[in-house]
Structure 1
Amino acid sequence: MARAVRDPSESDGDPADHAIEALRDLGIPIDPVTFTVWYEYYRGDNLDLKHAVNKLLRSDAEPSRADCLELHSRFLGNHDNMDETAEQIRVAIEAALSSIGDAGKQNAAFGLRLGSISGDLVDCKDSRSVGSIVASLLRETEKTVRRSRDLEEQLSSASGEIRLLKDNLADLHVEASTDALTGLANRKHFDKQLKSEIDEATTTDSDLALLMIDIDHFKSFNDRFGHAIGDEVLKVVASTIRRSVKGRDTAARYGGEEFCVILPQTDLNGAIIVADQIRLAVSSRPLTHRTTQQDFGRITLSAGVARFRTGESMKELVERSDKALYKAKEKGRNRVEDETALD
């Protein structure tokens, strides 16, 4: 039986708000682990986590904090900085809820006091006593108004703090999955995303292709012009790759001068076209120093393309794409080779 929580695919707005709402609806305590799991679920980037949570929601068991601990360990175990920020968010939320709770108790006391004053008015026999009772009523009302103003200020401050912490959590998420130099996905994110896409392709019997791309003679280029210029070349290649992908495609820096692109719902021929577009875009671009106008010539790329075969491992797909890349190197570089060249 599916649990009644907001569906991520139909959820606009802030994932942190949806996470808190879901935890309350499910009766799960808000703490660093539970908040992070549901925040990532509503972000939707971690497909493995998303599938696991959906499976849990469809089961007969009531989702619990123990389930969140297990999900966190499986899919988010290394995100220490995100946990720390999530803890700060939890503290801010608890402070806000505490203020609301205190205000509720105070308002309940105010209600009891009003009831008492109302009874006094019924029993009152002279105008002097009425004046005294009304004065007491005014004092109690003024106290409640002041408390309401204090609560409004506290909640406004908590809201600002929570907003900043949520922004920080989002930044940490990006930082944990991004290559600092190029801005593409890093190796860790690539591994996780490829596994997810393989699971998806297996489940839906859909196409999936992988490109492995390497800058030709990059070591010689680095030795000749220096690592600073080499880093700029890596950025140029990364930006070209980024402009060539779309939708669910994932572009990543695999390591050094090697890049890769995951292409869901793309067959072998489509992937070859994408690889060649990237190769031509890079090789047609002259490289010059912005300030000195020094000419660095042109760089070229070699690429290998492989398609996912149902039942194979992630390692097998990567190795086949990598072998196709080295076949392109053997045949003279500045070219694209696919897995059929390995037969």
Structure 2
Amino acid sequence: MSLQSVPATPNNFAVWFNYAMGTSPALRKTIDILIGNKRKFDSAINHELYVTYVNPQSNAGTAAGDFPEQLQGVISTARQFLAAAISDNRTQIEALGEVSSQVETTSDPRSIIEKLVTELSKATTRASTLEANFAETSHELDKIRDSLKLAEQRSNTDALTGLANRRSLDEFFRSALIATMETGEPLSTLMIDIDHFKKFNDSFGHQVGDQVLRLVAKVMLDSVRDVDHAARYGGEELIAVLPGTDLAACAAIAERIRRRISEARLTRRATGEEISSVTVSIGVAQFRMAESAEAMIERCDRALYQAKQSGRNRTVTEKDIDGDVAAA
């Protein structure tokens, strides 16, 4: 840990203890790759190693511990229901005990039967009330769960395009890079920039510009798999991360996206006027073992720059970058 400048925190110590003991071959392989490629063990990498190989439940546990006030209220109510039920049960047990003690001392069983019927009736009523209360509580919990799920989706989604946002992209990248180093499978990215996007806003207004963005986002989303991650990178730039996909396959997907967008036709909703065709430029790059996500995106961005410099409406991979651009 000292040689790699890893802070001596409990979580980091747990990671490196498991590494030293060899309890996780996958962890050892990943760290060895990182060391071999002189990758810095920053806070993001250290955290991802911990939650991936040492304590996968830690992320979920952190979220679960941060209960909203509404959830705390439901839990408090449920505890009150249980406390009341326990108290009532104790009272009923005592009452049944008294009835039991009278069995041997009375000659008239009718009074005993009446008391038993009364206590059983009370028990039935209490059980029905408790069941109704917990059914209502369960309904409230379902509503809270749905609200939390929706809030989580919104926090990870770009409102305009429906794609993942930068926050979600960063989280996906961290886990995808770790998984790629562990398995050795390829990982590629494609970055899309809408050609002459400013022209759409200037000529037709921002609503048409938004319409163009949504069109490109939909085509990209429809063209990738469920395991891939499509996101809005910023402005008119979109990005997709494709696990298990090499450079050639990613370039083929990028080219299919480019063609579908160029063949699409948009009309202005207010007037029905046909808008000039939309084209995009795309850069493609493949992950190099133990590099950072930023390094791969930077190569992808250089390929995208080359595509725009070469006339736009084309796909360029990192292999296609000429010497001057690659050195820039």
Residue 99 of structure 1 is aligned with which of 81, 104, 108?
81
Q: 1:53 to 1:101 in 2, by over 3 A?
A: farther
Cα distance in 2 for residues equivalent to 1:314 and 1:94: 45
1:229 aligned residue: 208
- Do the aligned residues in 2 keep the contact of 1:211 with 1:260 (CA within 8 Å)? yes
Paired with 2:233 and 2:59, the residues of 1 have a C-alpha distance of 31
Instruction: Sort the Cα spacing of 1:283 and 1:51 in 2 relative to 1 into closer, same or farther, 3 A.
Output: farther
Amino acid at match of 1:306: A
Deviations 1:290-336 (A, max 9, x none): 45220111010000000000021111111111111001001000000
Q: Which amino acid aligns with 2:134?
A: L
Structure 2 residue aligned with 1:331: 310
CA distance in 2, matches of 1:316, 1:53: 22
Cα distance in structure 1, aligned partners of 2:175 and 2:164: 15
- 1:260 paired to 2:260: no
The reply to whether residue 89 of structure 1 matches residue 58 of structure 2 is no
Residue type of the partner of 1:256?
G
Give the alignment of 1:133-152 within 5 angstroms: 133-152=112-131
Q: Report which structure shows greater RCO (CA 8 Å, sep ≥6).
A: 2
Alignment partner of 2:90: what SS?
helix
- Aligned pair in 2 of structure 1 residues 50, 170: CA closer, same or farther (>3 Å)? farther
Aligned to 1:213: 192
- Unmatched runs of 5 consecutive residues or more in structure 1: 1-47, 58-62
User: Displacement, 1:195?
Assistant: 1.7
Tell me, what secondary structure is at the counterpart of 1:261?
strand
Higher alpha-carbon deviation: 169-178 or 102-111:
102-111
Q: 1:55 is matched with which residue?
A: 54
Inter-partner Cα distance in structure 1 for 2:192 and 2:153 = 23
CA deviations on 1:91-133 (whole Å, 9 max, x unpaired) are 3234224413431332233123212211211221x32xx3333
> Which residue in 1 is equivalent to 2:288?
309
Contact 2:165–2:231 (8 Å) recurs in 1: yes
Is the 8 Å Cα contact of residues 89 and 166 (structure 1) preserved in structure 2?
Answer: no
Is residue 84 of structure 2 the alignment partner of residue 114 of structure 1?
Answer: no
Q: In terms of mean alpha carbon deviation, does 332-341 or 291-300 score higher?
A: 291-300
Q: Aligned-pair distance for 1:284?
A: 0.4
AA partner of residue 105 (structure 2): D
CA distance in 2, matches of 1:122, 1:199: 75
Aligned position for 1:33? none
Contact 1:177 1:188 in 2 (8 A): yes
2:275 and 2:103 map into 1 onto residues whose CA distance is 93
Give the deviation of 1:197 after TM superposition.
0.7
Task: For residue 155 of structure 2, give the secondary structure of its aligned residue in structure 1.
Answer: helix
Letter in 1 for 2:210: D
**Is contact 2:284-2:318 (8 Å) kept?**
yes
The superposition leaves residues 46-74 of structure 1 with CA deviations (integer Å, 9 ceiling, x where unpaired) of xx8797176227xxxxx9xxx679x63xx
SS in 2 for 1:123: coil
Q: Distance in 2 between matches of 1:68 and 1:312?
A: 24
The partner residue of 1:158 within 137, 140, 149 is: 137
Q: Distance in 2 between matches of 1:143 and 1:53?
A: 53
1:193–1:341 CA distance, 2 compared to 1 (3 A): same
Deviations 1:225-257 (A, max 9, x none): 110111111111111111001131000011110
Out of 300, 324, 333, the position equivalent to 2:279 is 300
Measured after TM superposition, the shift of residue 206 of structure 1 is 1.1
Task: Establish whether residue 173 from structure 1 lines up as the match of residue 152 from structure 2.
Answer: yes
RMSD: 2.4
Give SS of 1:113's match. helix
Structure 1 distance, partners of 2:53, 2:175, is 15
Distance in 1, matches of 2:59 and 2:267, equals 52
Q: Calculate the TM-score normalised by the size of structure 2.
A: 0.78
Q: Give the paired residue count.
A: 276
Contact (CA 8 Å) 1:93, 1:162: kept in 2 or not?
A: no
Q: CA deviation at 1:188?
A: 1.1
1:14-62 deviations in Å (ceiling 9; x for gaps): xxxxxxxxxxxxxxxxxxxxxxxxxxxxxxxxxx8797176227xxxxx
CA distance in 1, matches of 2:53, 2:132: 38
**Unaligned stretches of 5+ in structure 2?**
1-46, 324-328
Q: CA deviation at 1:278?
A: 0.6
